[in-house]
Amino acid sequence: MSFEQYITPPIPVAMQDRLVKSKYPQFKTKILQGNVATWVGEIKPTDSSQTYLVEITMQTSKPPAIVILNPKLEIAKGRTRLPHVFPGNRLCLHYPNYKQWENTKSVADTIIPWTSLWLFYYELWLIDGKWHGGGKEPNKRRANAG
């Protein structure tokens, strides 16, 4: 718990919804109830890229969960699994210890651009099996960390 939490309240889910829709009008709100919101929308990281249907679920008490609904994510040649995902293929876009995501931040300015960036590096990863986006890996002993 950071000191900032005492002076900056979390952004209410309804406000997050407004910010997402104003910046990315292609996103639709599937759920907006209490502290929970789910959005679904299309993202295309570059003009040469595929268009991906993305689902973002957030609760003010937890980091958002991001899944790609379609197309089905492929595995690069010579690899057996996707890089930088959580179980269930939820994208892992930030390192908790760096506090890059907090519920005082706007999903529209963090999660959505990071999703685009992840998808960009994912397409490059499909070419050579290497992740060019940098990042950290959990300690091998703590397999479920993050």
Partner 1 sequence: MQLTYPLRVYLKEGSMSTQVFSEESLIIAIVESLSPTKAQYDLATSRYKTVAQWLADDEGKLGKAHPKLYSQGSFAIGTPNRPVAGNEFDFDFVCEAELHPFELLLLIKARLQQNGIYDAKVEMMNRCIRITYKNDFHIDILPAQPDYTSSLGCVLIPDRKLQRLISTNPKAYAHWFQGQCRGSMRKAFVEAHIEPAPHYVPAERKFVLQNSVQLMKRNRDLYFAKDPDSAPVSIILTTLAGALYESGNRTLPTLAQIVDEIKTQTQHSSQPFQIENPGNPGEILTEKWREDRSRYDAFVDWTNHFSDQIHQLTSIHGIHKKTELLQKMFGESVVNNAVEMNTRAIDEARKNNALNVRSSGVLTASSVGAVSRVAGNTFFGSEEEE
Give CA–CA dist 73/83, Å, rounded. Answer: 11
Interface positions, 32-61, toward partner 1 (CB under 8 A): 42-51
In this complex, which beta carbon is closest to partner 1, that of residue 31 or of residue 123? 123
Q: Residue 69 is encoded by which pair of tokens?
A: 């609904």
Among 55, 65, 83, 104, binds partner 1 (CB under 8 A): 83
Distance CA 103, CA 8 (A): 10
4 binds partner 1 (CB under 8 A): no
Per DSSP, the residues of 61-106 read: TEEEEEEEEESPPP--TT-SS-SSEETTTEE--S-GGGT---TTS-
Among 1-9, 10-18, 28-36, 131-139, the segment contacting partner 1 (CB under 8 A): 131-139
By the rule CB under 8 A, 85 interacts with partner 1:
yes
Task: Report d(CA 9, CA 103) in Å as an integer.
Answer: 8
Q: Which residues are near partner 1 by CB under 8 A?
A: 23-26, 42-51, 79-86, 91-96, 98, 100, 108-110, 112-121, 123-124, 126-127, 129-138, 140, 146
